[in-house]
Homo-oligomer: A and B are copies of this chain.
């Protein structure tokens, strides 16, 4: 890494279906110079998350797409190297949306301080960051898990799913995870304490899920869509809640699956079982007691997490492509610069 150059990965082409390496381009740009009221941070960790697939397309969504030639968007933890922003000084660690690049400029309100004494700084991108907050507010506002209920969550070893399941366990639920390999399932039950975890590749996955949910499903946290959604739908109990947080199984789809059209069936189930199906993103809701609650659960060992850290900005595209195929195991991060020794 050259300290006078800002390497960045830009969107080179919009993907048709599954993104390939040709969608990304590594560029070098001059180091940005922070103006008055701005600060410059050197990125240490870049977070890679499924929502980024949506930003690569220019269809309507909840956020504007990344422009062609623009740096890919993404959450980062960085070290302040220059500051003309009140309250921040060189040496501070900050979390913000720095993007896929070595350096980022932040204005007031665009970054928050990270306290390394409180928790490992990577958690600001995981369990104590956007994914953890997504789990926390989505359960509080939509999922509303109650003691004795059954919750199902897919991508259960990932940062959102693992928090969803463990928070719901703390609330007294039976929690059934779904993941993409036996190793992930073993981690989810063994380390995270879920009551069960099933591999969605199993030929008899639907039967396994039914057996794992003898009292039906009261909350289905929708991270994935696809086969898992289809398997859960017939198990939903009256008044079940379905927070729709992600649909990774369909993100690369270029056409709808063959018929019949099951929309009438889904709406009929919604009516007769009085389901609540509700989409959201983390910023729709107040953070509330998230940091206090989840921070205390993490410190008490009641909420665990796993990280999958890769080295080097240049490896972000391949890591992200793998993420969409479920190849990561835990919160996927790219280490772009060495973390400061504390």
Taking a contact as CB atoms under 8 Å apart, the answer to whether B271 and A247 are in contact is: yes
A210: min CB distance to chain B, Å: 15
Contact of A262 among B246, B263, B277 (CB under 8 A): B263
Residue of B nearest to A245 (CB): B271
Q: Does A129 contact B (CB under 8 A)?
A: no
Assess whether A60 is interfacial by the CB under 8 Å rule: yes
Asked if B270 and A244 sit within 8 Å, CB to CB, the answer is yes
Q: How far is the CB of A274 from chain B (nearest CB, A)?
A: 5
Q: Which of A233-275 contact B (CB under 8 A)?
A: 238-239, 244-247, 250, 253, 255-275
Asked if A278 and B279 make an inter-chain contact with CB atoms under 8 angstroms apart, the answer reads no
Is A337 engaged at the interface, CB distance under 8 Å to the other chain? no
Alpha-carbon distance A77/B288, docked complex (angstroms) = 50
In chain A, positions 273-301 with a C-beta closer than 8 Å to chain B are: 273-281, 284
A341 on the B face (CB < 8 A): no
B275 near A278 (CB under 8 angstroms)?
yes
Contact of A62 with B278 at beta-carbon distance under 8 Å, contacts A256-B261, A257-B261, A260-B256 already known: no
Cβ of A205 under 8 Å from chain B:
no
Report the Cα distance A255→B62, complex, angstroms: 34
Question: Which residues of B are found within 8 Å of A245, using beta-carbon distances?
Answer: 271
Q: Does A222 contact B (CB under 8 A)?
A: yes
Q: How far is the CA of A205 from the CA of B123 in the complex (A)?
A: 52
| 18 additional A-B residue pairs with CB within 8 Å, beyond A54-B272, A269-B279, A275-B278 | A60-B272, A61-B272, A62-B238, A62-B271, A244-B267, A244-B271, A247-B267, A250-B267, A253-B264, A256-B259, A257-B264, A258-B259, A259-B259, A262-B262, A270-B279, A271-B279, A276-B278, A278-B278
